[in-house]
């Protein structure tokens, strides 16, 4: 170690010394976290860090972007800043059987117009069960790290990710100028057990599984806590990138390794379906001994040019799928069945179970789906049942073990009245098909408190208005006290802070009264002043949180309305189609609204009808009007690329020779064109290949521009 005292260093010497210290400390960090085998004493290690900090204090302009001082200590602000992903972070489609995998490869082949027997090389990668993160490097230096969030917008957790030794702060070799590397933060079984032991010893809550503990560790406001947790990172994909350093997925992973990332050592390139399935079985048999959790194998088409042609459907790529391992099962006792009423009035039966551990998680509730399912299972209270849990999905009951049925097992009678409001609960019959709906629904619509409350809870949820501090308990409380009936009332709360404060104070008093009664103690009146201050602050924060959400993007607003069948994805499709609130409302309330909806790519008949039903119900329109009085709704950005065909209606006919019909359609749509199956006066372009017949004639009749496949490809710049 250089011994020259810090105050004697010249600027050039300081720069060299900081470089040396950064490397040396990083080396020790790796040894400590990665191999669990520190090479120097803690005191010597601290001395290195102190020297680094002292030099930085004297030469602040020389502080390096990858300085070890960024790794711990830097306290983050009270909550994480939001980061908009320049390239969305997508999810994966699932395959559960060998056939599903064969289907996936078949779909890829058909889309690309390949022959049945043509093989497509894929990479097969263990599907790590952690949480995904995106790391942005500029000129080889880590500048930002973010969580996935909803795929569009995540949280800035740079300070925390910097503390993970698998994540290089500065890249090796010659990486692209801008490079976003994405992968999974995870915790090994060993680290997980050690952490829980420590938590237990300190009287802190233990984590249910390594995934939760990794997530909990990364979302700490104090990065030094993250630093104290042994976390790891595997790199497996990318977001924005200024130039592609390779032409295949496997080539990209090799590059990542050369830049200093850790890539899962089990990743394999497979040429055939047989090879793929063999790899899957092999990984499955080694799963328990890997030392970290995986929940399947991910297959990705290896060639990036093919990936590009395959593109995406909704939120997952056509070129990848996740082959999941079978779900884990356990036996337990069905202690009771309770009915929950959802925001659409659905009576959802929930099984209350004797707590049991399945795949590392304690399960006490399972879904029973609907009344037919209870009948099919012949589930009786007291029965021993087999339950299954797969990933994040709500556990379900697979079957009843009849041999273990106790004498007094009680059959369950599904209610025909809503347990919350007493209205009739009915199963609708579909007029078209004559089929009875599987769900029984409460007919109490506007009078049913369960529906009102559930709708309000949904409204303030994370993917909707995301009002901080306003969770389920407060919604229920404010609703009980008559402060909330509909979404507009949430914003009206900002006009009555005293009332809110009073309700909260009463609630708190009632709670402590209950607690005191339970503990058999007398009321104690000390610390009252301090509590008042806390309450004041809570009300103030809540008002500010509500106020902040008075500006909301169109897609979030649409999602928050709680229209049946409309979630995040459909809401985004609608928002992208109309771009601003006025256009959206005009579209929804116009005479041909239903037809218009049915023409939006990605929106099917049932969904279109549900949206239409919502807007033809005057009560809904009025409530929305009252809500809008409080809001400023921001426009959606127009589709990223304006292309020569955006907004045009195109018809493909005849044989296409350079691509399949499906690919042509997907490509045209991604450029903003509407693809139609028939030619009318509204058609802008007919792309005609050999063998085109009546559609070509129609085009001539309507005077529509006709071109061949090559001219089309030239037009779209392919």
Sites of contact with ligand IVH (CB under 6 A): 90-92, 125, 127-128, 132, 148, 184, 236-237, 298, 317, 320, 322
> To the nearest whole angstrom, how small is the minimum distance from the Cβ of residue 466 to ligand IVH?
20
Tell me, yes or no, if 622 is annotated catalytic. Answer: no
> To the nearest whole angstrom, how small is the minimum distance from the Cβ of residue 302 to ligand IVH?
13
- Residue 140 vs residues 87, 158, 689: alpha-carbon distances, Å: 19, 15, 48
SS3 assignment, position 313:
strand
β-bridge mates for residue 633, sequence order? 552
Q: Between residues 91 and 224, which has the closer beta carbon with respect to ligand IVH?
A: 91
- Where does residue 194 rank: exposed (0-12), middle (13-18), buried (19+ CB within 10 A)? middle
> To the nearest whole angstrom, how small is the minimum distance from the Cβ of residue 700 to ligand IVH?
44
**Cβ partners under 8 Å of residue 291, min gap 6:** 188, 189, 190
CA distance 257 to 136: 16
> To the nearest whole angstrom, how small is the minimum distance from the Cβ of residue 125 to ligand IVH?
4
- Residue 97 vs residues 101, 272, 285, 317, 459: alpha-carbon distances, Å: 7, 16, 16, 19, 37
* Kind and range of the H or E run holding 650: strand 649-653
Q: Between residues 245 and 317, which has the closer beta carbon with respect to ligand IVH?
A: 317
> To the nearest whole angstrom, how small is the minimum distance from the Cβ of residue 134 to ligand IVH?
10
- Residue 675 vs residues 654, 670, 672, 709: alpha-carbon distances, Å: 15, 11, 10, 15
> To the nearest whole angstrom, how small is the minimum distance from the Cβ of residue 186 to ligand IVH?
9
> To the nearest whole angstrom, how small is the minimum distance from the Cβ of residue 312 to ligand IVH?
8
CA distance 649 to 595: 16
Q: Between residues 317 and 395, which has the closer beta carbon with respect to ligand IVH?
A: 317
> To the nearest whole angstrom, how small is the minimum distance from the Cβ of residue 277 to ligand IVH?
18
Q: Between residues 132 and 248, which has the closer beta carbon with respect to ligand IVH?
A: 132
Radius of gyration of the chain (CA): 30
According to DSSP, the β-strands at 94-95 and 320-324 are: parallel
Q: Which one of the listed residues 4, 16, 79, 127 is annotated catalytic?
A: 127
CA distance 236 to 263: 7
Q: Between residues 266 and 477, which has the closer beta carbon with respect to ligand IVH?
A: 266
The alpha carbon of residue 133 and the mean position of all alpha carbons in its chain are separated, in whole angstroms, by 12
Q: Between residues 132 and 464, which has the closer beta carbon with respect to ligand IVH?
A: 132
- Three-point CA angle 55, 57, 58, nearest 5°: 65
CB burial string 120-157: b at 16+ within 10 A, e below: bbbbbbbbbbbbbbbbbbbebebebbbbbbbeebbbbb
Q: Between residues 112 and 298, which has the closer beta carbon with respect to ligand IVH?
A: 298
- Three-point CA angle 578, 582, 588, nearest 5°: 65
> To the nearest whole angstrom, how small is the minimum distance from the Cβ of residue 311 to ligand IVH?
11
CA distance 627 to 550: 10
- Report yes or no: 375 and 368 within 8 Å, Cβ to Cβ: no
Residue with tokens 């009555």: 496
**Cβ partners under 8 Å of residue 656, min gap 6:** 664, 687, 689, 709
According to DSSP, the β-strands at 685-688 and 705-707 are: parallel
DSSP one-letter code for 436: B
> To the nearest whole angstrom, how small is the minimum distance from the Cβ of residue 60 to ligand IVH?
38
Q: What is the helix, strand, coil percentage profile of the chain, to 5?
A: 40, 20, 35
> To the nearest whole angstrom, how small is the minimum distance from the Cβ of residue 234 to ligand IVH?
7
- Report yes or no: 476 and 452 within 8 Å, Cβ to Cβ: no
- Report yes or no: 389 and 361 within 8 Å, Cβ to Cβ: yes
Q: Between residues 92 and 493, which has the closer beta carbon with respect to ligand IVH?
A: 92
Q: Between residues 311 and 536, which has the closer beta carbon with respect to ligand IVH?
A: 311
Q: Between residues 38 and 311, which has the closer beta carbon with respect to ligand IVH?
A: 311
List the alpha helices (DSSP H) in 487-566. Answer: 487-492, 497-519, 528-548, 554-560
**Torsion 124-125-131-133 (CA) sign:** negative
Q: Between residues 216 and 562, which has the closer beta carbon with respect to ligand IVH?
A: 216
The size of the chain, in residues, is 718
Task: Output the residue with the shortest Cβ distance to ligand IVH.
Answer: 132
> To the nearest whole angstrom, how small is the minimum distance from the Cβ of residue 238 to ligand IVH?
10
List the alpha helices (DSSP H) in 141-238. Answer: 158-161, 189-201, 210-218, 223-228
DSSP 329-361: EEEEEEEEEEEEE-TT-BEEEEEEEEEEEETTE
Catalogue the active-site residues.
127
């Amino acid at each position: 170690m250089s011994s020259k005292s810090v105050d004697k260093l010249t600027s050039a010497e300081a720069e060299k010394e900081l470089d040396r210290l950064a490397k040396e400390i990083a080396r020790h960090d790796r040894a400590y976290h990665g191999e669990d085998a520190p090479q120097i004493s803690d005191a010597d290690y601290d001395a290195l860090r102190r020297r680094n900090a002292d030099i930085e204090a004297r030469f602040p302009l020389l502080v390096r972007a990858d300085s070890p001082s960024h790794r711990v200590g830097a306290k983050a602000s009270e909550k994480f800043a939001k980061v908009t992903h320049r390239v969305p972070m997508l999810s994966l489609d699932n395959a559960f059987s060998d056939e599903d995998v064969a289907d996936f490869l078949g779909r890829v082949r058909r889309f690309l117009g390949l022959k049945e027997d043509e093989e497509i090389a894929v990479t097969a990668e263990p599907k790590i069960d952690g949480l995904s993160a995106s790391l942005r490097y500029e000129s080889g230096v880590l500048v930002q790290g973010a969580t996935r969030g909803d795929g569009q917008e995540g949280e800035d957790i740079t300070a925390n990710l910097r503390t993970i030794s698998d994540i290089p702060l500065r890249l090796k070799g010659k990486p692209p100028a801008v490079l976003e590397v994405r992968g999974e933060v995870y915790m090994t079984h060993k680290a997980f057990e050690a952490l829980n032991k420590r938590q237990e010893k300190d009287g802190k809550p233990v984590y249910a599984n390594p995934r939760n503990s990794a997530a909990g560790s990364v979302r700490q406001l104090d990065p030094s806590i993250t630093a104290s947790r042994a976390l790891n990172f595997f790199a497996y994909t990318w977001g924005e990138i200024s130039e592609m350093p390779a032409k295949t997925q496997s080539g990209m992973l090799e590059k990542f390794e050369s830049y200093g990332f850790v890539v899962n050592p089990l990743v394999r390139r497979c040429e055939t379906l047989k090879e793929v399935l063999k790899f899957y079985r092999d990984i499955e048999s080694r799963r328990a001994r890997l030392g970290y959790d995986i929940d399947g194998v991910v297959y990705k088409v290896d060639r990036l040019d093919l990936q590009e042609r395959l593109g995406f459907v909704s939120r997952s790529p056509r070129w990848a799928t996740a082959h999941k391992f079978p779900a884990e099962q356990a036996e337990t006792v069905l202690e009771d069945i309770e009915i929950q009423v959802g925001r659409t009035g659905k009576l959802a039966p929930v099984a209350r179970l004797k707590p049991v551990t399945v795949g590392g998680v304690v399960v006490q509730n399972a879904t029973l789906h609907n009344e037919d399912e209870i009948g099919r299972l012949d589930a009786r209270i007291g029965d021993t049942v087999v339950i299954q849990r797969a990933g994040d999905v709500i556990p379900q009951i697979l079957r009843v073990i009849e041999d273990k049925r106790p004498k007094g097992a009680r059959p369950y009678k599904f209610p025909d009245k809503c347990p919350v409001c007493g209205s009739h609960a009915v199963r609708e019959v579909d007029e078209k098909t004559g089929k009875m709906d599987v769900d029984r629904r409460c007919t109490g619509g506007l009078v049913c408190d369960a529906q009102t409350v559930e709708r309000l809870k949904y409204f303030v949820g994370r993917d909707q208005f995301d009002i901080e501090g306003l969770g389920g308990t407060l919604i229920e409380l404010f609703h009980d006290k008559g402060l909330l009936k509909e979404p507009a009332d949430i914003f009206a709360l900002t006009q009555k802070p005293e009332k809110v404060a009073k309700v909260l104070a009463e609630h708190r008093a009632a709670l402590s009264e209950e607690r005191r009664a339970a503990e058999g103690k007398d009321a104690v009146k000390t610390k009252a002043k301090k509590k008042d201050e806390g309450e004041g602050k809570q009300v103030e924060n809540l008002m500010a949180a509500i106020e902040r959400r008075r500006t909301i993007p169109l897609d979030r607003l649409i999602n928050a309305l709680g229209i049946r069948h409309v979630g995040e994805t459909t809401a985004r499709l609608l928002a992208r189609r109309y771009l601003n609130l006025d256009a959206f409302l005009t579209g929804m309330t116009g005479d041909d609204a239903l037809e218009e909806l049915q023409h939006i790519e990605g929106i099917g008949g049932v969904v279109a009808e549900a949206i239409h039903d919502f807007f033809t119900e005057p009560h809904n329109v009025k409530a929305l009007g009252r809500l809008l009085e409080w809001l400023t709704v921001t426009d959606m950005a127009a589709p990223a690329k304006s292309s020569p065909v955006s907004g045009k209606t195109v018809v493909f006919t005849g044989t296409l020779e350079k691509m399949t019909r499906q690919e042509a359609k997907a490509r045209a749509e991604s450029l903003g064109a509407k693809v139609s199956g028939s030619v009318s006066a509204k058609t802008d372009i007919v792309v005609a290949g050999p063998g085109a017949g009546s559609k070509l004639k129609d085009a001539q009749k309507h005077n529509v521009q006709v071109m061949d496949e090559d001219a089309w490809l030239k037009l779209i710049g392919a």
